[in-house]
Chains A and B, each alone.
Chain A
């Protein structure tokens, strides 16, 4: 069914007031999704406007191509960004991503978009300086559009079906690209089974970001410090064995590579180094871990060493950022698995 249209005064203030009153915005002013703007957006896909890409929990709204385009316009996206959002919408609806849990939980989980492949340069997605921060149109508006899609199509309105206790700033926007040129290893999408010249978007259910500033120049020491940052008792990772993520800066990546470490080596070492005795968790978290991971551990006792993920391969990282000694730990929702989709 085509999206409904309505007449409005050609007055940006009045339109934004209307969108605010109807809770169609994320709290920031929007670009009015006029039929002309939506039509321009739709020129960047071969798909029909009424094609349903996914049904999005928790409200079970049908994410048609047209509705995705409308939210993309509202977020300020360039028309050429539409295929990224179509792929991302399809990805978040995969059962293993658990969008129902991510949107309806009290947890602050946000959807993080990670782009790889030729589309990064084509769209100008930032993978270098301040790639998780402000200042880049593609990063800012793609992440924002994803949020608007989840809210306006998926129905995840704060305080209604979005039950986040506090939420987090990344729920406004969270999108970056991998700095493939400065990574000493195969990029994320290749690791996840795609050809290097294919463009992809990976969606991650991210709890937040923790900056890790270390001037260490020694690979083993650097890994130990990163692992120390990843270990925290109030973590869904240890309770549910999720997928912790890292954004390794190019300088840190160079140090690790100079230490002779492959991606697999790094994952294996971090998996070992981040083991935490169950006694560090609260009694309630031990019960949660018991319920989720009893099949792995049997009875969890105070001296049981809990791993941050079921296997080393469940730890993921990309290389991104500019010069500097800052990497980022991205703890995740736990009951979610990242999904990667080709951007067509």
Chain B
């Protein structure tokens, strides 16, 4: 998406941050913003996930706009 000029970011848990960075780099997008959530994510209850989402939504929106849709 970033290569097509769309604002893009990746959201992953801490356990996948290395993978995300490496893959972004391999694809020539070292600057791809990656929002990292504490791992493990799958064990959290829906309410906890909603709480986390509410806390980070503004930061994520900022990251998206910084990634610069063209």
A-to-B contact residues, CB < 8 Å: 57-61, 104, 106, 155, 159-161, 163, 284
B12-30: contact bitstring with A at CB < 8 Å (1 yes, 0 no)?
Answer: 0001101100110011000
The answer to whether A58 and B22 touch across the interface, beta carbons within 8 angstroms, is yes
A160 near B19: Cβ-Cβ < 8 Å: yes
Flag if A161 contacts B15 (CB, 8 Å): no
Chain B minimum-CB-distance residue to A55: B26
Given A161-B18, A163-B15, A163-B16, also A58-B23 (CB < 8 A) = yes
Contact with A along B24-67 (1 / 0, CB 8 A): 00110000000000000011000000000000000000000000
Tell me whether A60 and B27 are in contact (CB under 8 A): yes
Residues of A within 8 A of B27 (CB): 60
- The residues of B with any CB-CB pair to A shorter than 8 Å are 15-16, 18-19, 22-23, 26-27, 42-43
Q: Are A59 and B26 in contact (CB under 8 A)?
A: yes
Name B18's closest neighbour in chain A (CB-CB).
A160
Q: How far is the CA of A61 from the CA of B43 in the complex (A)?
A: 34
Q: Check A155 against B22 for contact (C-beta < 8 Å).
A: yes
Q: Which 5 A-B pairs have the closest CB atoms?
A: A60-B26, A59-B26, A161-B19, A161-B22, A58-B23
Residues of B within 8 A of A284 (CB): 42-43
CB <8 Å contact, A104 and B19? yes
* Contact between A58 and B19, CB atoms less than 8 A apart: yes
Shortest beta-carbon distance, B37 to chain A, in Å? 15
- Report the tally of A-B residue pairs with Cβ distances under 8 A: 31
Query: For residue A104, which residues in chain B have a CB less than 8 angstroms away from its CB?
Result: 16, 19, 23
Bound-state CA distance A69–B22 (Å) is 25
**Cα-based distance from A308 to B18 in the complex (angstroms):** 33
C-alpha gap A160/B26 in the complex (Å): 13
Return the chain A residue nearest B23 by Cβ: A58
**What are 10 A-B pairs with beta-carbon distances under 8 A?**
A58-B19, A58-B22, A59-B22, A59-B23, A59-B26, A60-B27, A155-B22, A155-B26, A161-B22, A163-B15
A284–B40 alpha-carbon span in the complex (Å): 13
With both beta carbons as reference points, the residue of chain B lying nearest to A59 in the complex is identified as B26
Shortest CB–CB separation between residue A212 and chain B, in angstroms?
A: 31
A58 to B22, CA, bound (A): 9
Question: What CA separation (Å) do A284 and B43 show in the bound complex?
Answer: 8
In the bound complex, how far is the Cα of B56 from the Cα of A280, in angstroms? 36
Nearest CB to that of B16 among chain A residues? A163
A60 cross-chain contacts in B, Cβ below 8 A: 23, 26-27
Min CB gap B28→A, angstroms = 9
Q: Which residue of B lies closest to A60 (CB)?
A: B26
CA–CA, A155 to B22, complex, Å?
A: 9
Which partner residue on chain B sits nearest A100 by CB separation?
B23
Question: With A and B bound together, what is the CA distance between A60 and B23 in angstroms?
Answer: 8
Bound Cα distance from A59 to B26, whole angstroms: 6
Are A160 and B22 in contact, with the CB atoms below 8 A?
yes
In Å, the complex CA distance between A160 and B42 comes to 20
A284–B27 alpha-carbon span in the complex (Å):
33
- B18 surroundings in chain A (CB, below 8 A): 159-161
Instruction: Report A-chain residues with C-beta under 8 Å of the C-beta of B22.
Output: 58-59, 155, 160-161
Give the shortest distance, in Å, between A31 (CB) and chain B (any CB). Answer: 27
CA distance A57 to B23 in the complex (A): 9
Q: Kindly provide the distance from the CB of B34 to the nearest chain A CB, expressed in whole angstroms.
A: 14
Measured CA separation A337–B56 after assembly (Å): 37
Tell me the bound Cα distance from A106 to B16 in angstroms: 10
A52 to chain B, nearest CB (A): 15
A163 to B15, CA, bound (A): 8
Does B42 contact A161, Cβ atoms closer than 8 Å? no
List residues of chain A with CB within 8 A of the CB of B26.
58-61, 155
With CB as the reference atom, state the residue of chain B lying closest to A57: B23
Residues of A within 8 A of B16 (CB): 104, 163
User: A283 → chain B, closest Cβ, in Å?
Assistant: 11
Nearest residue, chain A, Cβ from B27: A60
